[in-house]
Amino acid sequence: MLKATKAVAAAAGVMGVLAAGAVFADSPTKGVYRNMMPGHGLSLDFGGKHAVGYFRIKDNACHLTVVVADGAGGETGLDSPGTRIVVPILPGKAVQLDASADQSAEFVCGPDGTEMNARVFDRAPYKS
C-alpha cells in the first residue's frame, strides 16, 4: 500500500512540474539558445523525451532542476513518471542531457550565475 501511495505522489509531482513548465514557458527552436529566468520553467522536447527545467540562484551558481520523462506521456500507466535531476552549475559552465535519438538539451549558466540559457540541438552520432 505504501509503495502505491509513493508512486501516485511521485506521478502527481511530475505532472505538476510538467504543467507548470507548459504554463510558464515555450519550447525553444532547435539549436537556438533561449533565456531562462530564475524560478521560471522551460519546456523542451528532444529525442523522444520531454523535459521541464528551472533554476534558482544559490552560492553564486545556477542550481538547475530538470524533470525528464518519455515524450509519449506515459499513457499506459506503467511508464516511469520521470526522472528528476538536480545539479549546481558554475558560472560559464554547462550541462548536457543526451537522448537516444541523436538529440541533446544543453543548459548553460551565465557568467554571473544569475541567468541560464538552454537549447535543443542535433548531435553527431557516437562513434566507437
DSSP secondary structure of 67-128: EEEETT--TTS-S---EEEEEEE-TT-EEEEE-TTSEEEEEEE-TTSS-EEEEEEE-PPP--
State the pLDDT at residue 114. Answer: 93
Does residue 47 or residue 53 have the better pLDDT?
53
Residue pLDDT, tens place only, 64-107 = 999 998 887 666 666 677 899 999 999 999 999 998 878 899 99
Q: Which helix (H) or strand (E) holds 58?
A: strand 49-58
State the pLDDT at residue 19. Answer: 39
CA 66, 71, 73, 79 torsion-angle sign: negative
Cell of 58: 544559490
State the pLDDT at residue 62. Answer: 97
- The model's pTM is 0.70
Q: Give the rounded distance of the alpha carbon of 82 from its chain centre.
A: 10
Residue pLDDT, tens place only, 95-125 = 999 988 788 999 999 998 999 999 999 887 6
State the pLDDT at residue 90. Answer: 97
Assess whether pLDDT exceeds 60 at residue 18.
no
Cell of 74: 506515459
